[in-house]
Chains A and B, each alone.
Chain A
Amino acid sequence: MTPSTSSASDLPALVLAGVGRRFGALHAVSDVTLRIRTGERRAILGPNGAGKTTLFNTICGDYPPTSGKITYFGADISQLKPYRRARLGIGRTYQSSTLFNGLTVRENLYLAVRAAKPGRFSLIKPGPGHADLARVRALAEQVRVDHILDARIDSVSHGQRRQVEIGMALAGVPKLLMLDEPAAGLSAAERPELVTLLADLPRDLTLILIEHDMDVALANSEKVTVMKDGVVVVESTPDKVVDDPVVQAIYLGEGH
């Protein structure tokens, strides 16, 4: 086990080389270079409009980069379609919940399980004992929504929706998981639960976290990247980043 693990972790999970994304004249992200180890926990911080979510969109393919190169476990994925990247093991959540509102929690999770394997056009309903449904149950327990499986998504709480989001991103057994502000809108009581949930994720999973909430971000990361105006301004460790003068200027100067 040890030799294969060490050789796998030598290969970085994700390398961004000079990645940029333009929308007309607007450079939402410019010249971002990042190297994220396999199994690393990375937080991305920055004020609103810093380009954090756009960076996620270039990595998952919603808006492919207009310049630069994205390498995922050694393969160039810069121009792949989003569904292809998802099938390679890139899972993500969205900042504002974009779940399937007309469907139940179970159906949302089931679709995410189903998307990760062949037979996506299947016209056969799974029987009650089907392995996919067992997997749905396991996922629901992992993200603590197993008591509301039959509720429609638009009838469950905001916090529960965020948990379903994470469950769906985990369904494809991702190698790289990107969470876009998972703590946004959560109550003070729900936050520690999210931190535990994130801490319980398997160690070989690479995690990138966009977070506004410093406590959640620093508690769940080994390395922190700070962005402002579409560029990376600081890359550091959680204990050093809070003392960094540039970071303090960004966060205190803009009233955060």
Chain B
Amino acid sequence: MIIMSTRRWALTAIGLVILLALPLLLPNFWLVNIFGRALVYGIVALSLTFLAHYGGFVSLAQTMVAGVAGYSVAMMAPTAIPLGDMALPYALAIPLAVFAATMAGAIVGLIAVNTREIYLLMITLALAVGFSLFAQSNITWFNGYEGIRNIVGPEIFGRPFRTPLVFYYTALVVAALLYLLVLYVVRTPFGLVLQAIRDSDRRTAAIGFHVGLHRIAAFALAGFIAGWGGVLITFYNIGITPSSIGLWATVGVLIMAVIGGLGHPLGAFIGALIFALMDTFASTIIGHDRFNTLIGMVFLVIVLLSPDGIWGVGGRLAAALGGRNRNKNADGGATR
């Protein structure tokens, strides 16, 4: 099945080769703390972009849904501190955690099924903050404010997950598979129905689709995507705390998706990379007192100059460079 044009495939292949070769070019710090981090947070941003761009649902609950997976895998992890009474091998704990996130996504979709725009934002924000506060105050399962520590992740081919190469390549493979999943799904009947709902939900119902069920299914799929992100983020942070899924984390994922560009799934990863760079280096550029101001300014400039994010800049450059050809094609089509 064709999901992309030949030129897109070529660009994707080049991008993939560069990403695969990164460990040869970069020191471990860059590999793990910039690119690895961008990949795992980018997965959560990808789930938001999927909902926002194809369904028209801007959900602030994606960090929370990722947190459901993160806490699930942490509770079941065989190395957790404190160790719960339901420790399972990672081979079981990870799929169960992703399943839990999928269900959490469906529940968010169900709760918000009749709301749109600002009301959808408010409901999903309330769910996100509520879950984070619940995790903070629940000692029995969530270990309260401290969270659950020492979630080191599984061994892959006999190597610990924390090895930079293992972490980076695992994150890359999972992110690439989920990215391709999104590109594929949006061309299927189900994905087309989502875009139809975005353009006119009334019309979608008038031709015979159950809009509510499609919305819930979309949130469940977004939960599945965010769940993988949540599991990998928990391994990256060697644990999970309530603050890592709190308001600031929620806003962080929204910023990634918006500055990268909501117009294309790749924007989520571009945004996550910029976010990781800014978050890491702003304090060395401008000092500890003002680094948040610098981050804010950069994001403001990006959004002001290009409302559709960095991806939008790329799109406009391509349009400007290829503009002559495109016009020629359009004329040809009209006179045919």
Contacts and interface: CB of A to CB of B under 8 A. Distances in A.
Interface residues of A, number: 38
A83 B211 contact: yes
B189 interface: yes
A62 B192 contact: no
Contact of B208 (A99, A115, A124): A115
Given A111-B193, A111-B207, A124 B188 contact: yes
Interface in A94-137: 94, 98-103, 107-108, 110-112, 114-116, 119-126
A256 interface: no
A132 to B, nearest CB: 9
Contacts of B336: 147
A209 interface: no
Nearest to A171: B207
Interface in A152-188: 168-169, 171-172
B199 A102 contact: yes
A192 to B, nearest CB: 23
Given A123-B185, A125-B1, A125-B187, A99 B199 contact: yes
Nearest to B221: A123
B290 interface: no
Contacts of A91: 207
Q: Main SS of chain B's interface residues? A: helix
Interface string A62-106: 100000000000000000011100110001101000111111000
A13 to B, nearest CB: 18
A101 B208 CA distance: 18
A112 B205 CA distance: 10
Interface string B212-232: 011001000000000000000
B190 interface: yes
A60 B206 contact: yes
A111 B217 CA distance: 17
Contacts of A107: 192, 195
A94 B184 CA distance: 31
A41 B109 CA distance: 43
B208 A100 contact: no
B312 to A, nearest CB: 15
Contact of A82 (B205, B213, B214): B205
B200 interface: yes
Given A83-B208, A120-B209, 17 more contacts: A60-B206, A81-B205, A83-B206, A99-B199, A100-B204, A102-B195, A103-B199, A111-B204, A111-B209, A114-B189, A120-B208, A120-B210, A122-B188, A123-B188, A124-B188, A168-B207, A172-B207
Interface of B: 1, 184-185, 187-190, 192-193, 195-196, 198-200, 202-211, 213-214, 217, 333, 336
10 contacts: A94-B203, A99-B200, A114-B193, A116-B208, A121-B189, A121-B217, A122-B188, A125-B187, A125-B188, A169-B207
